């Protein structure tokens, strides 16, 4: 076992020593997580483009929305409408001078709202309406208390104390859209991190299969087998080496996305288990690729191509939930779809081990077939190396 581990550690060391990997393994995946996060969500409270004069209504509304987890961007009225038109904001709110004055005077306030056509737009519009209602209510309460003889300061303190003491009623919202239900409660970067961990574990493993070919071409394989090393030890070392590379990539993306973007993986141990089992599949595929092809440049190209196509088909670039039904069926020919499904269950629905056993079973099946075929073709390639 020590001999196999020596081969494993040197494979991992070679992977980490390759400077071209610094960008593609450590930087690029996180850029994609960031990019996908920017595409898929602006926070659970919606994105509001707010314009208006320097007034208490503008300031109070911005503060109220921010308290409600909305992402508020203060811009001009034209820019606010353009942000909505371009889909970069869910709604625009334009506070007019009249509205600001009416708010200060305690009169009725009318605020124009432009609602986009995005999935979150109606919910965000409702959130703006709720914020305005809350402001109006607070104004009314203050007026009532001051009319009853309290000073304005005492009235504010009383309202603040009441706000702390009384827990507001919670509203449970059920969206009839299956897609909305699927992504409900998902953080901005959660989908991007889960999809990229699968894309890159597979892609980097396949691209890394070139080191197997280089070992044969350099004569290192031959030299290894001239040492007191059995073919079985050499094959085991290479298989473990591929798994170590896949796991390193997966763990890195999971850890970095958690630290940098606050990604919630659900049950971390289960998410890690899914990534490791998926890494076994990637290791097997890399062994097959690195053994059947003798040209490392060709293997690198094929590896990247297969990794990208399988990733795209398996939902690692675009949510599989948005695929048409027929394509979703085809997608499940890829291990990515099964691993993505397992991660989604863990990450979005709090699934336990039992719930994801079917997906893990399919992945282990893929891994078993690919590792067996990989071991067989690797043995044959070792003979070629001699």
Contact residues: another protein, CB under 8 A: 2-3, 6-7, 10, 13-14, 17-18, 218-220, 222-231, 386
Q: Which residues pair with 93 in a beta bridge?
A: 50, 113
Nearer Cβ to another protein, position 4 or 32?
4
For residue 358, CA distances in Å to 282, 338, 348, 354, 365 come to 19, 9, 17, 8, 11
Tell me how far apart the alpha carbons of residues 46 and 51 are, in angstroms, rounded to a whole number. 16
CB of 230: closest distance to another protein in angstroms?
A: 6
- Residues contacting residue 276 through CB under 8 Å, at least 6 positions apart: 243, 247, 250
CB of 376: closest distance to another protein in angstroms?
A: 17
CB of 20: closest distance to another protein in angstroms?
A: 11
For residue 284, CA distances in Å to 127, 308, 335, 359 come to 50, 17, 12, 18
Nearer Cβ to another protein, position 223 or 349?
223
CB of 207: closest distance to another protein in angstroms?
A: 15
Percentage helix, strand, coil for the chain under 3-state DSSP, each rounded to 5? 75, 5, 25
Nearer Cβ to another protein, position 14 or 139?
14
Nearer Cβ to another protein, position 155 or 236?
236
Q: 151-165: buried (b, 16+ CB within 10 Å) or exposed (e) per residue?
A: eeeebbeeeeeeeee
CB of 231: closest distance to another protein in angstroms?
A: 8
Sole residue written with tokens 């009853």: 148
Tokens of 8: 């494993």
Per the CB < 8 A criterion, the answer to whether 375 and 290 are in contact is no
CB of 249: closest distance to another protein in angstroms?
A: 18
Q: Determine if residue 52 is left, alpha or beta; phi over 0 gives left, psi from -120 to 50 gives alpha, anything else beta.
A: left
Nearer Cβ to another protein, position 220 or 317?
220
Nearer Cβ to another protein, position 169 or 227?
227
Q: Compute the Cα dihedral for 129, 134, 139, 145 and give only its sign.
A: positive
Tell me how far apart the alpha carbons of residues 214 and 364 are, in angstroms, rounded to a whole number. 29
């Amino acid at each position: 076992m020590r001999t196999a581990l020596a081969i494993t550690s040197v494979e991992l060391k070679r992977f980490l020593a390759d400077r071209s990997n610094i960008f593609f393994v450590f930087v690029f995946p996180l850029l994609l997580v960031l990019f996908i996060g920017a595409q898929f969500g602006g926070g659970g409270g919606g994105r509001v483009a707010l314009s208006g004069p320097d007034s208490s209504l503008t300031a109070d509304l911005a503060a109220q929305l921010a308290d409600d987890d909305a992402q508020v961007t203060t811009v001009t009225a034209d820019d606010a409408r353009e942000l909505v038109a371009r889909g970069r904001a869910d709604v625009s709110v334009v506070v007019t001078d009249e509205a600001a004055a009416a708010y200060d005077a305690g009169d009725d306030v009318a605020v124009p709202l432009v609602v986009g056509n995005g999935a979150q737009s109606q919910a965000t519009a409702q959130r703006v309406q709720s914020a305005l209602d809350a402001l109006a209510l607070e104004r009314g309460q203050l007026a009532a208390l001051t009319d009853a003889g309290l000073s304005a300061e005492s009235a504010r303190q009383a309202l603040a104390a009441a706000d702390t003491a009384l827990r507001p009623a919670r509203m449970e919202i059920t969206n009839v859209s299956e897609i909305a239900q699927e992504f409900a409660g998902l953080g901005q970067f959660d989908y991007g991190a889960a999809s990229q961990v699968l894309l890159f574990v597979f892609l980097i493993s396949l691209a890394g299969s070139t080191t197997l070919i280089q070992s044969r071409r350099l004569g290192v394989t031959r030299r290894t087998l001239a040492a007191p090393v059995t073919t079985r030890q050499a094959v085991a070392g290479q298989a473990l080496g591929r798994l170590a590379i896949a796991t390193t990539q997966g763990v890195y993306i999971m850890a970095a996305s958690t630290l940098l973007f606050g990604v919630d993986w659900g049950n971390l141990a289960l998410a890690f288990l899914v990534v490791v089992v998926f890494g076994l599949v990637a290791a097997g595929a890399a062994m097959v690729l690195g053994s059947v092809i003798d040209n490392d440049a060709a293997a690198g190209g094929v590896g990247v191509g297969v990794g990208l196509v399988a990733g795209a088909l398996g939902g690692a670039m675009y949510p599989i939930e948005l695929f048409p039904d027929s394509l979703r069926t085809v997608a499940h020919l890829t291990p990515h779809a099964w691993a993505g499904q397992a991660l989604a269950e863990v990450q979005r629905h709090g699934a336990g081990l039992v719930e994801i056993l079917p997906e893990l079973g399919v992945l282990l099946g893929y891994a078993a077939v690919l590792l067996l075929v990989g071991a067989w073709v690797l043995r044959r390639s070792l003979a070629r190396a001699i």
